[in-house]
């Protein structure tokens, strides 16, 4: 899940379910993945374009992922991911598109321990005809740099 805060420190929580199949290519070091990402959450009434109570958003997006393993002593992977759901795969009445991209670098300094850092952009597009006049139909929920550490057992 993702807890995202906007410029006014308003918290929005999104839940994800992801399925990605990654395969290796004939190009040394490159891998390519395709799959799906489901997303569900609520936008706080202070930030959603409709200014009503919390706005439910849900979608099932197609996912593509490209990975490159750098030829270094420490296993290091650079990756880019793009998720997109058109209106037909958006399950909220007023949602017309869901888009998300990520650029990330991962390094494994110890067996099963991965350091990672990346840039994420998550946005929703709403039906312009249903919005109040003068309101932008694109809402960027999260545009942020992130870091962390993962342990695999």
**Quick one: pLDDT at residue 11?**
67
Strand partners, 14: 2, 41
Within 25-71, strands assigned E span 30-43, 55-70
Report how far residue 51's alpha carbon sits from residue 46's, in angstroms, rounded to the nearest whole number: 6
Summarised one tens digit per residue, pLDDT across range 116-146 is: 999 999 888 888 777 777 777 777 777 889 9
Q: Strand 2-5 to strand 113-126: parallel, antiparallel, or no bridges (unpaired)?
A: unpaired
Using the predicted structure, report yes or no on whether residue 8 has a pLDDT greater than 60: no
Alpha helix (H) residue ranges in the chain? none
What is the pLDDT, as a whole number, of residue 52?
A: 62
């Amino acid at each position: 899940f993702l807890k995202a805060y906007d410029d006014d420190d308003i918290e929005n929580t999104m839940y994800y379910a992801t399925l990605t199949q990654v395969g290796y290519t004939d190009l040394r070091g490159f891998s390519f993945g395709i799959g799906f990402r489901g997303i569900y959450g609520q936008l706080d009434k202070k930030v959603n374009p409709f200014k009503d109570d919390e706005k439910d958003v849900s979608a099932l997006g197609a996912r593509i992922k490209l990975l490159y393993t750098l030829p270094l002593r420490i296993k290091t992977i650079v990756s880019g991911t793009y998720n997109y759901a058109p209106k037909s795969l958006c399950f909220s009445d007023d949602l017309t598109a869901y888009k998300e991209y990520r650029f990330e670098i991962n390094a494994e300094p110890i067996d099963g321990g991965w350091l990672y850092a990346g840039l994420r952009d998550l946005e929703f597009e709403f039906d312009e005809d249903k919005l109040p006049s003068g309101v932008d139909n694109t809402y960027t929920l999260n545009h942020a740099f992130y870091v962390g550490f993962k342990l695999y057992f």
